[in-house]
Amino acid sequence: MPFIDLLSNADLLALSIYLLAFVLYGLVADHSPLQRYSISAAMDRQRRNWMHEARRRELRMLDSNVLQILMNGISIFASTNIFVIGGLIAGIAYNEQLSDAFSRVPFAVQISPALWSLKLALLLAVFVYAFFKFAWAIRLANYCAIMVGALASHNDAESADAEARTEAAAKLASLCAFHFNRGLRANFFGLAALGWFFSPMLFIAGTIFIVLILVRREFLSGALKAVRALK
């Protein structure tokens, strides 16, 4: 049966709003002129400052420790997503039993096994996407760590080659953060998709709520106010 036949008009509306919000928010936050006013852009400037300071340090144990902390944090999210993906695959495999059990949950709508599988497939796609983003962010963090190790020595910190290496390290750090943010954002949208299991209207409400949270944290947060005025 084509998946479109499984969905009511309310389901189609909710799913369309969800997918549109997922794509449009990413375009606005990452690729529009508004991006320069985001906390991501502000922190990119600080990552560049970090690398310029790192190249002037004779000992870079501090920088290595910071990179290790960042990689550990990303690794936790990547590992967690693997467990979530495994659980979702198991949920699809036992769609009949689980859809029947879930239909007894208060306020939950009746879900057929096929529709249950479709809703889990949406969640699976979101968390697989997030995992790939986290995995690539870990790789980029490793590349950045190598570039920090390859920075010019303290005595040669002002050479043209040192400047080029510093800019490359800063770019890798920014790319790592970019992909980590995309993975983290997908996890937030994955939480919004849980509302679809209860009702299409809750799915829409959850999507709007998540977008508002992301907008506030990216463009209106106290953290942004703290770093916005810094060069």
Task: Please report, for residues 142, 171, 188, the alpha-carbon distance to residue 47 in angstroms, rounded to integers and kept in the order given.
Answer: 15, 9, 25
Residues 179 and 134: their CA atoms lie apart, in Å, by 7
DSSP label at residue 143: H
Task: Please report, for residues 89, 112, 124, 150, 230, the alpha-carbon distance to residue 191 in angstroms, rounded to integers and kept in the order given.
Answer: 17, 21, 12, 40, 34
* Residue 98, both tokens: 């689980």
At residue 10, what is the residue type?
A: A
CA 55 centroid distance within chain: 29
pLDDT at 64 over 90: no
Residue 185 buriedness (CB in 10 A; 0-12 / 13-18 / 19+): buried
Task: Please report, for residues 65, 66, 143, 148, 219, the alpha-carbon distance to residue 61 in angstroms, rounded to integers and kept in the order given.
Answer: 6, 9, 17, 10, 33
Per-residue pLDDT tens for 79-88?
Answer: 999 999 999 9
Number of domains forming the structure of the chain: 1
Per-residue pLDDT tens for 146-198?
Answer: 998 888 666 565 677 778 888 999 999 999 999 999 999 999 999 999 999 98
pLDDT at 7 over 70: yes
Q: Residue 206: give the domain boundaries.
A: 3-228
Residue 3: per-residue pLDDT: 64
